[in-house]
Chains A and B, each alone.
Chain A
Amino acid sequence: MPNSLQRIAPILIIGFGLLSLIQSNEDVKIVYPSTWPKPVYDFDENPLSNSKIQLGRKLFYDPILSKDNMVSCASCHLSYTAFTHVDHAISHGIGDSIGIRNSMTLVNLAWSKHFMWDGAINHIEVQALAPISHEDEMGEEVGAVLLKLQSDPNYPVLFVQAFGDSVISSQNMLKAMAEFQLTFVSANSKYDRVLAGKDHFSEQEEKGYQIFQSKCSSCHTEPLFTNGYFENNGLPVDPNLNDMGRFGITKRSSDSLKFKVPSLRNIEFSQPYMHDGRFLSLHEVLKHYSEGIHESNTLSSQLKGGLNLTEDERLNLIHFLLTLTDKEFLFNPDLAYPRNN
C-alpha cells in the first residue's frame, strides 16, 4: 500500500493542484430577484468565472485600449455615476474629440438584446469593438490593442489564468470584458426593497409610482425599467447632429428617430439625459414629456399630445424615480477601479 501510494503521489499532487485552480476559477453566478425575467445572455453556455471577470475589470479600467493610452472604458462609464459620463451632454474621446451621443448607463446588461442608442451592436461580446475603433472614442485598431496587451508584463499571465492561453486573442479579450460588464446587476434599490416587502414608499413616492405605472411603464417597463425596444420619444432633431437613431442601422423609415429605451435605474446619478444629453435635470425631462413633445410619423403612440403632468405629479414622479437609486450597486467595490492589480 505505501508503495502504491508513493507511485500515485505525484498524480494526486497534480490532481489537487488542478482542483484548487478550478476552485479559484469556479463559475460565478449573477444574483437577481426571482421575479425578474430570464437573462438574454446564455450563462449556461458561457458560465462566468472569477478570473475572466477580474481580467475584464482590469481591461475596462485600462487606457491601454485607446490609441494614445489616455482613454479607458471607465472614462465615459464611471461606476459611481451609474457607469455613464456625467456633466457631458455628448461624450468625448481621445485628443478631445467628441462624438454625437451621450454615453449610455451600463446596467443589467445581461438582459439586453441590443447595445448602443441605435442598437447597432447585437451581442455584448462584440460591443467593445465599437468604442475601441471609433475615431472619436478610443481611436485604436483592435489588432494593435492585442499587440500592446501581448507585450505588457502582466496581461499574458492573466490571460493564462483566465483562458489557459498566453496568446491574447480578440475573442478572449472581448469575452473577458463582457464577463465583467455582465456582473453590473442593479437590483437593490429602495424600489426593489419595497417590492420585496422590506421597505415602504413615502406618500409622495407611492403617488409617483402610480403615475409611473399609468404613464411611463409601457416603455420603461419594470423591473428593468426598459422594454428593450426602440422608441421615438418626441425630441425634435438637433440640426447640428442630425441623428436619425435606429434608422441609421435598419434603413427602415419606420425606425426614423427611434432610440433605445434606456433603463431608468440610478437615474438620479446619470444626468444629463436623452441620447444627446440635452436635458440636465429630471425637471427638464418631465417638462419635455408634459408639454414639449414634437409630433412626427414615428412618435410613440403613448406620447401623442404629451403626458400633461401637473406640477404635483411631476414632483411625485421624481420622488419615485429617486427610489431607483441603488447605492450598493453604485459603490460596489467589486465593480470599481481594481486598486490591487
Chain B
Amino acid sequence: MSFRLTAFFILFTGVVSAQSNHARSVELSFVPTINGENLILGKSYSLFSDTFTISACRFYISQIQFLKDGEFVFADPTSAHLVDCSDERSTNIEIFCSNNIEFTRAQFLVGIDSATNSSGALDGDLDPTKGMYWSWQSGYINIKIEGAKTSEDSEKAEFQFHLGGYLPPNLAAQIVNIDVANTDSIQLEVDLEQFLKSIDLKARQRVMSPSAEALILSGEFSNSIHLKNAQ
C-alpha cells in the first residue's frame, strides 16, 4: 500500500509540474478576409467586377513550431488542427508551451504530411468523417474552398477546390514561415481575395483530386496567409 501511495504522489507531482511547465498559452488565429473585411460565409462580395460568395473555407494546419534565430525551440504535440470558417472556435488555435520559450518565427504546414496520410484510421481533427478525407482514394483534403461567382451578365458558376495530395510528385502540403515577435497572440490573415485572384475561374472551376493544378493552388493559398498584427 505504501508503494501505491508513493507512486500516486510521484504521478501527482509529475502532473502538477508538467502543468507549470506549460503555463504559457500562445494563440494562433486565422482570419479569412475578402475585400479587406472578415469573411462571412454566404455573403456576397464584389470582386473584379463579379459577385462572389464563399460557402466553405476549411483547411488543416499542422506541425506548428516556434524558432528562435533559426533554431527550433518548440513543436506543437497536436498532430493537426482543422480550421473551419463555419466554426469560429476552430480558427483560434491555442498552443501551450513552457514559459521560458522565446521565439522569433512561427512555422507550420498548411495541410497534412505524407506520413500522417499513410497512418491508417485517425481521430480528432483527422477523423475521416470531417469531410476532409477522400474516401475513394486515401488522403486528406488539405484545403477546401467552395463558392460561386456571378458575373455581370448574371451567369452563375460554382467553384470547388479540394486541394491535397501526399504522393510525389504531387505533395500538396505547404510550409509557411512567419517572422513574428515573441507574442502570445499571432493573428494571421488568410487573404481569399488574393487566392481567388490567382485562379482563372473561366478555365478551372473545379480541382477535386491530387494533381499538378492542386499543387499550384495549394501554393497560392499558403501565399495568401500573412501576419495581420505586428505587435
Contact = CB atoms under 8 A, between A and B. Distances in A.
Co-assembled chains A and B: yes
Interface of A: 8, 46, 120-126, 129-130, 132-134, 141-143, 146, 169-171, 174-175, 178, 249-251
B138 A123 contact: yes
A121 B138 contact: yes
B211 A129 contact: no
A80 to B, nearest CB: 28
Given A120-B137, A134-B136, A142-B129, A171 B121 contact: yes
B211 A251 contact: yes
Contact of A126 (B128, B167, B170, B210): B128
A133 B135 contact: yes
B120 interface: yes
A125 B133 CA distance: 14
Contacts, number: 65
A251 B1 CA distance: 64
Nearest to A134: B136
Nearest to A122: B138
Given A121-B138, A122-B138, A178-B120, A129 B170 contact: no
B122 interface: yes
A142 B135 CA distance: 9
Contacts of B118: 122-123
Contact of B120 (A126, A133, A143, A250): A126
B121 A143 contact: no
Contacts of B210: 251
Given A129-B128, A146-B129, A170-B129, A249 B137 contact: yes
Contacts of B123: 169-171
Contact of B138 (A126, A134, A142, A171): A126
Nearest to B212: A251
Contact of A174 (B117, B121, B137): B121
B209 to A, nearest CB: 9
Interface of B: 1, 117-123, 127-129, 133, 135-139, 167, 170, 210-211
Nearest to B1: A8
A175 B120 CA distance: 8
A132 B121 CA distance: 15
B121 A126 contact: yes
Contacts of B119: 123
Nearest to A123: B120
Most buried by A among B133, B135, B211: B135
Given A129-B133, A170-B128, 8 more contacts: A46-B120, A123-B118, A125-B120, A125-B121, A130-B135, A133-B135, A171-B122, A249-B167
A84 to B, nearest CB: 20
B128 A121 contact: no
Contacts of B128: 126, 129, 142, 170, 174
Nearest to A115: B138
Given A170-B129, A250-B167, A130 B121 contact: no
Given A170-B127, A171-B127, A251-B170, A178 B121 contact: yes
Nearest to A131: B135
A320 B28 CA distance: 64
Most buried by A among B1, B129, B170, B210: B129
Contacts of A146: 129
A130 B136 CA distance: 5
Nearest to A129: B135
B127 A169 contact: yes
A240 B135 CA distance: 24
Contacts of B133: 126, 129
B95 to A, nearest CB: 24
B117 to A, nearest CB: 7
